[in-house]
Homo-oligomer: A and B are copies of this chain.
Amino acid sequence: MKDLSPAEYIDGIKSGNRALLSRAITRVESTRADHRELAQAIIEGCLPFSGNSIRIGITGVPGVGKSTFIESFGTYVTEELNRKIAVLAIDPSSTRSRGSILGDKTRMETLSNNPNAYIRPTASSGSLGGVARNTRETILLCEAAGFDTIIIETVGVGQSETAVHSMVDFFLLLMLAGAGDELQGIKRGIMEMADTIVINKADSGNEDASQRAMLEYKNALHLFPPTDSGWIPRVTKCSALKSKGIDEVWSIIDEYIRHTTSNGYFDQKRKEQAIYWLNEHIQQELHSAFYGDDDLNAALQSNKDKILNGEITSYTAAKELMKLFHSK
């Protein structure tokens, strides 16, 4: 079957055609050269119509209730606020078969039947760098398709949080009240990224524990250095299952957006993110150029042997290999 032209994709996406949006995202995720080329043309065409959304990163360890939260949150913003929400995931470590993240579309049953919500299960294969690029480009396509609220979901135990933090406006950390072990379960670096910590499962019978957890996290956040945005991270609680407290989460996000828009941080951060990704992509390309070359790989192997035999230092070997790299 002949593929559509970039213009056909772009028009389709701009008119909100979900089938074409999904197909375009599949092109973005493809590793085939012709698909990549088509994808780039589509993205360039959508670029002028992108950017007009709130990009929200959501993380938390498995079991914290991320799916239920996103379902409840998505229902709230679409039904109460007339917003359009797209839910993406970034999780290069998982495979679809393990189904750890968005692997099963039916995980968010209500939301996936909501005409103002778009859920994209992730193929989640390949390197973090590749997956991150796909997600960033998918954000642009979703924005061009009219989605004004973008959720990037990730599990809070991997390496992908920094990547997600570098592509969203607002970072939400979902936690549980209870054992006090949560501070151990989540990486400390992740807590420092959070613009808000939301204690989920603050259901009946769990109110006291949730209240204590809120205090604990408030205290913990005080130990961190001030944020670049001048925003003081908030702690709140909710019951995603009972849809309680979701409005409060939204009002925190709304307040953050107003705060950072008025002090210029919102735009500044997006610009910094674009430059950050430029440098990330350059690094990945340099890496591929070196390690993807057969001659260099052969030389790399023989230099490794010399290092392991104590004949040369790692530094000298690197210098030799770079000579070969530059001679090509």
* Chain A residues with a Cβ under 8 A of chain B: 40, 43-44, 47-48, 51, 133, 136-137, 140, 181, 183-184, 187-189, 220, 223, 271, 274-275, 277-278, 280-287, 289-290, 300, 303-304, 307-308, 310-319, 321-322, 325-326
Q: How far is the CB of A297 from chain B (nearest CB, A)?
A: 12
For chain A, what secondary structure do more than half of its interface residues adopt (helix, strand, loop), or is it mixed?
helix
Contact A318 B278 (CB under 8 A): yes
In the complex the two chains form, what is the Cα distance from A319 to B44 in whole Å?
A: 14
Decide: A322 and B289 in contact? CB cutoff 8 A: yes
Complex CA–CA separation, A39 to B304 (angstroms): 21
- Please name all residues of chain B whose beta carbon is closer than 8 Å to the beta carbon of A133 when the two chains form the complex: 315
Query: Is B316 a contact of A282 with CB atoms below 8 Å?
Result: no
Closest B residue by C-beta to A187: B188
A275–B287 touching, CB < 8 Å: no
Among residues of B, the one whose C-beta sits closest to the C-beta of A281 is: B318
Q: Which 4 A-B pairs have the closest CB atoms?
A: A281-B318, A277-B314, A278-B314, A286-B286
Check B44 against A312 for contact (C-beta < 8 Å). yes
Q: Evaluate contact between A47 and B310: CB separation under 8 angstroms.
A: yes
19 further A-B pairs in the complex, CB-CB below 8 A; given A47-B313, A51-B310, A184-B220:
A40-B315, A40-B316, A43-B315, A44-B312, A44-B313, A136-B314, A181-B223, A184-B188, A184-B223, A271-B308, A274-B308, A274-B314, A275-B308, A277-B314, A280-B314, A281-B315, A281-B317, A285-B319, A286-B287
Minimum CB–CB distance for A173 against chain B, Å? 15
Q: Which residue of B lies closest to A39 (CB)?
A: B315
| Nearest-Cβ distance from residue A87 to partner chain B, whole angstroms | 22
- 29 residue pairs bridging A and B, Cβ less than 8 Å apart: A40-B313, A40-B316, A48-B310, A136-B314, A137-B313, A137-B315, A183-B183, A184-B220, A188-B188, A188-B189, A271-B308, A275-B304, A277-B315, A278-B303, A278-B318, A280-B314, A281-B315, A281-B317, A281-B319, A282-B318, A283-B283, A285-B318, A286-B286, A286-B287, A286-B290, A286-B322, A286-B325, A289-B322, A289-B325
| Copies of this protein in the complex | 2
Chain B residues, CB < 8 A from A307: 274-275, 278
* Known contacts A47-B313, A313-B137; A283/B287 CB under 8 A: yes
Partner of A322, one of B40, B181, B223, B282: B282
Alpha-carbon distance A36/B326, docked complex (angstroms) = 20
- Shortest CB distance A283–B (Å): 7
Q: Select from chain B the residue with minimum beta-carbon distance to A273.
A: B314
Residues of the B chain whose Cβ atoms lie less than 8 Å from the Cβ of A315:
40, 43, 133, 136-137, 277, 281
- A183: which B residues are within 8 A, CB to CB? 183
Nearest-CB residue, chain B, relative to A46: B313
A321 touches B282 (CB 8 A): yes
- Among A47, A278, A308, A312, chain B packs the most CB atoms within 10 A around the CB of A278
